[in-house]
Amino acid sequence: SPALHLRHCHELAERGWVAATIEYRLSPEARWPAALEDVRCAIRWMRGNAAAIGLDPARLAVSGGSAGGHLAALAALAPPGRWEGAGGHAGQPSNVQAAVLWYPVTDLALPGSPLEAQPMVAAFLGTDDAEVVAEASPVTHVSGDAPPILTITGADDALVRPVMIEAFHDALDAVGVDNELVVYDGRDHGFDLHPADWSVSAQVAYDFLEQRLC
Residues with catalytic roles: 66, 157, 189
**What is the Cα–Cα distance from 30 to 161, expressed in whole angstroms?**
27
Residues in the chain: 214
Q: Are 121 and 109 in contact (CB under 8 A)?
A: no
Q: What are residue 179's DSSP bridge partners?
A: 149
**What is the Cα–Cα distance from 150 to 180, expressed in whole angstroms?**
5
Burial class (CB within 10 angstroms; exposed 0-12, middle 13-18, buried 19+) of 194: exposed
